[in-house]
Structure 1
Amino acid sequence: MEDFGHIIGHAVEHTFADTLYLIPFLFVTYLAMEWLEHKTGSKTQEAVRRAGAAGPAVGALVGVVPQCGFSAVSATLWAGRVITLGTLFAVFLSTSDEMLPIFLAEQVPLPTILKILGVKLMIGMVMGFLIDAVVRIARRDNNPLRIHELCEQDSCHCEEDCAECGENPGKVYEHFEDEACAHTHDHSHDHAFGWKIILKSALAHTVQVTAFILVITLALNLAIEGIGEDALGDFLVANESASVFLAGLVGLVPNCAASVVIAQLYLDGVLGAGAMLAGLLVGAGVGLLVLARSNRHAGQNIAIVCALYATGVFWGLLVNVFGIAF
């Protein structure tokens, strides 16, 4: 009974630690998206679409930062179609989660760390640009913003009409652009009301997504605490010839334990470079959880997860074939 209580306490502690730091990332992201949605016009949407062309390069660089906050942000932004699918993949593939802290704690030589991060960065960029090129050829659309879909899904009521103005908040916000106002109230009221709607909606999104992540992360932590990280390690070393495929499966677990186990087994010499790379490429942390919560199209989410796994396995096998070592 004491052990059970310890497992629960440890899981709850890790859950709050893993989740609460995401709140600022999510809130700022939703705040920016709501502002963009209320302010956007055809010119703004076109500017966002064109800026997205360089997204994979920026995404890969941002993803290298050793925490999964940016993977959560990228999943949210892609759900609203603010960034491209290639940018999403670039962030997911370059994200290292707990790998870097483990390597630093184990005093891994700096050149080795830089090589691994550099390879992940390169793969993220290459695959990101490749995916964007394929999407443009296959779909040939302008990737319109879909932030309003997030509002409908979360029922944040940001689309409700203004009781006083009798018009949509988006139109109220258009007054910022000095367009004609058919109402007698002053411009400062429009400005305050517009930001009130934006803040309310951003807060509603953040609370709902955080609650979802909290519940799922707690369930995962309880499972991992119950099974043990050693069991994950045993799973990886059970079949050495299939270690790349197995490491990729472990990487799909949206929890920092996955990257910890993979990095530690690599340092212990149990996993080869290919298996290590496959697992760390696939491991996008809580980004996959946020994607499942924010993007309402389950088929797209499944396709992204499958493509992410296939990408990690492909590059892992390639490293093994060429005998690359870090």
Structure 2
Amino acid sequence: MEMFIDVLLDAAIDCVKMLPFLFLAFLLIEALEHYSSDFTKKLMVKVDKAGPVVGAIVGCVPQCGFSVMAANLYSGGIITVGTLIAVFLATSDEAILIIMGNPEHAGKIGVLLLAKVIIAIIAGYLVDIFFKKEIAVPHHEGELCHDCGCHNHSAGIVKPALRHTGKIFLYLFVFTFILNLCIDILGIDKISAMMLGDTVFQPAIAALIGLIPNCAASVILTQLYLSGAISFSSVIAGLCTGAGIGLVVLFKVNPDKKENIKIIAVLYVIAVIAGLILELTGV
């Protein structure tokens, strides 16, 4: 019982320390999405052959708002499947914000973003070359960027930032408590072994976790990485599939379900291959 209480207090203290960093980060992201979403949408419409590059850069902005926008733009026939894949691969949902909330790990952000952007650009162009016929650009009617939240300007930026901060704090507290309890009982080496650490299968497992269409996936993957339970290559694989609610919106706005399944399958395969390459090269 004493161990349980100690772990609970440690998790609470660790998460409370992160609150100011999380709120400031969310405030910045809300401001970016609030004031630049229309510009971003217009940019995505006009990119043409530079789509994967722009998609990768836009997608690496924390949260999954731009992956939602990309799903809507793809459904409207505005961007190619390669650009959509690039956005999905570059999206890290809440991972960057969680790392920012741990200043001692801040140096990892640049490497992680750079790796994901490079993977997204290369994969985006390859998908447009090899899958253009198999996965065609659809042309469905409907409002572009619906459900992405970029039209809800009346909400301001402070309230959404507070709401996101509270939500992520709860996820972090629950998972940090569970992870710390498991570390105390099993040890970090045992947890890593359970995740098939030091094998080529860990990136495949991490990529499956990333497909969970919820920010909880990025929270789990990031905390596992920061605790040393999974490798850099595995967190990259997991975050490459972690497009958040963008995957749900794709199924909602694009009626061709078989096409959507193909897109997710391609996304998963690319993420696993990228993770394996990083694992085998010792990055």
> What TM-score, normalized to structure 1?
0.57
Q: Is 2:197 the counterpart of 1:238?
A: no
**Aligned equivalent of 1:76, options 61, 72, 76:** 72
Aligned to 1:309: 268
CA distance in 1, matches of 2:135, 2:71: 22
Shift of 1:109: 4.7
Structure 1 residues 206 and 308 mapped into 2: Cα distance closer, same or farther (>3 Å)?
Answer: closer
Tell me by how many angstroms 1:106 deviates: 1.1
Q: Deviations over 1:210-255 (max 9, x none)?
A: 9xxxxxxxxxx9xx98xx6479968986241332111111100011
Aligned to 1:147: 140
The separation in 2 between residues aligned to 1:232 and 1:279, in whole angstroms, is 20
The answer to whether 1:53 aligns with 2:12 is: no
Note the alpha carbon deviations across 1:181-228, whole angstroms, 9 max, x for none: xxxxxxxxxxxxxxxxxxxx679x659xx9xxxxxxxxxx9xx98xx6
Equivalent residue of 1:259, what SS?
A: helix
Q: For 1:231 and 1:313, how far apart are their aligned partners in 2?
A: 29
Q: Is the 8 A contact 1:255 1:286 kept in 2?
A: yes
Provide the residue aligned with 1:105 in structure 2: 101
Specify the alignment match of 2:238 in structure 1: 279
Q: Residue 147 of structure 1: SS of its match in structure 2?
A: coil
Contact 1:232 1:261 in 2 (8 A): no
- Post-superposition shift, 1:104? 1.0
Distance 2:279 2:205 in 1: 14
The separation in 2 between residues aligned to 1:202 and 1:140, in whole angstroms, is 20
Say which one has the larger Rg.
1
Shift of the 248–232 alpha-carbon distance from structure 1 to 2, 3 Å rule, reads farther
**Equivalent position amino acid for 1:70 in 2:** F
1:72-113 CA distance string (max 9 Å, x none): 000011011110000000100001111111111111454421
Q: 2:164 maps to which residue? A: none
Figure out how many residues of one structure are paired with residues of the other and give that number: 214
1:244–1:317 Cα contact (<8 Å) kept:
yes
**Residue in 2 that maps onto 1:8:** none
Q: Distance in 1 between matches of 2:93 and 2:193?
A: 22
Which of 225, 235, 248 is the aligned partner of 1:289?
Answer: 248
What is the rounded CA distance, in whole Å, between the counterparts of 1:88 and 1:134 in structure 2? 15
For structure 1, the residue ranges without an aligned partner over 5 or more in a row are 1-16, 34-47, 151-200, 211-220
1:109-188 pair list within 5 angstroms = 109-136=105-132, 138=133, 143=137, 146-148=139-141, 150=142
Structure 2: give runs of 5+ residues left out of the alignment: 1-25, 152-166, 183-190
Normalised TM-score (structure 2): 0.66
**For residue 285 of structure 1, what is the amino acid of its counterpart?**
G
CA contact (8 A) 2:99 2:106 kept: no
The residue that corresponds to 2:226 in the other structure is 267
2-structure distance, mates of 1:253, 1:313: 15
- Cα RMSD for the two superposed structures: 3.4
Change (3 A) 1:291 1:140: closer
Aligned to 2:21: none
Q: Secondary structure of 1:250's partner?
A: helix
Q: Distance in 2 between matches of 1:258 and 1:296?
A: 25
| Contact 2:195–2:229 under 8 Å retained in 1 | no
- Residue 92 of structure 1: aligned partner: 88
Alignment partner for residue 247 of structure 1, among 201, 206, 213? 206
Does the 8 Å CA contact 1:236/1:246 hold for their aligned counterparts?
no
Amino acid at match of 1:104: M
Q: Percent identity?
A: 36
